[in-house]
Amino acid sequence: MITIEEVLGREGLFNQAAQITHEMISRSSNTIYKVTADGTDYIVRIDGEQKDYVGLDRGLEVVAMKKAADLGISPKVYSSDDPRYIVMEYIGGGHIGEAQMREERYIAKMTAALKKVHQITGVDRDCSPFYMLERYIAGFESLCVPVPGEFYALLKRIPEIERRYAQNAAYTTKYSHNDYFNFNMIDQDDRIAVIDWELSGMSSVFFDLSTISFSAMYGEREDRMMLERYFGNYEPEYQVLLEDMKYMNMLRDAGWHYLHAGINSEHAEGYFPEAMIVVKNVERGHLHFRCRCEGM
């Protein structure tokens, strides 16, 4: 992996600066730095190993990011020639909190931004929920991660979900973010800016909607409010498709943890408990993001 010092030495935006500072602001699948060069702030994303296992075309990710920037919902891309990192515009603002995600005004803002995401066209980058999960499974199996049988048992429901997915092409052939968590949304008062497009691709609008719902632990009221805001009306079939994608989101989350247990084998013990929380919640039909609410 390239270091931030190497990036600063390579990029013309930085190596000609009289004054430059940097700080790490996030480290998960990728490592994110805020760089200040002669008073201007930038973001540098140094890609981690996940991209090698997911196998998505990075050039098409950049195309999608540029299209999203043109729509006013994503940072501008300044440099993307080196496949190991991206230099982007720094966007000020805070992340939306989980409590805020349950407020009607934030539901309206999140769904408005999401509708713009789904307007992106001309990017032939497929990344369905099934593809993502398959890649995570192939990845952790190649790394010989000891995954319990309970996880594999949950995969038995997927063919049923795939059948409904195939029957609803109007909702499953849209360009989607596929990682629409609150930590990838920046609240800027009049809009939401969306960051981290690594997993974006042709997918289901309900996968993005379900990411809002299961991560903020929505109930029936919030789900209905979100669906009405997005579609302009509410139909019972929407809830069925939403529940399908909540299920896939839960499995994706568990798969993410098992893959990263293999990638970060020296810290693997930190990933297994979180994955098992997800598995146990799915077993009891509690489709909420790593919730530790016993007895629900």
What pLDDT, on a 0 to 100 scale, did the predictor assign at position 294?
A: 55
Tell me the domains of the chain and their CATH numbers: 4-93 (3.30.200.20), 95-283 (3.90.1200.10)
Average pLDDT per 10 consecutive residues for the chain, totaling 296 residues: 96 94 94 97 96 95 97 96 96 90 95 97 97 98 97 98 96 97 91 95 98 94 97 97 97 97 92 94 87 58
What pLDDT, on a 0 to 100 scale, did the predictor assign at position 103?
A: 95
- One-letter amino acid for residue 257 of the chain: H
What pLDDT, on a 0 to 100 scale, did the predictor assign at position 264?
A: 92
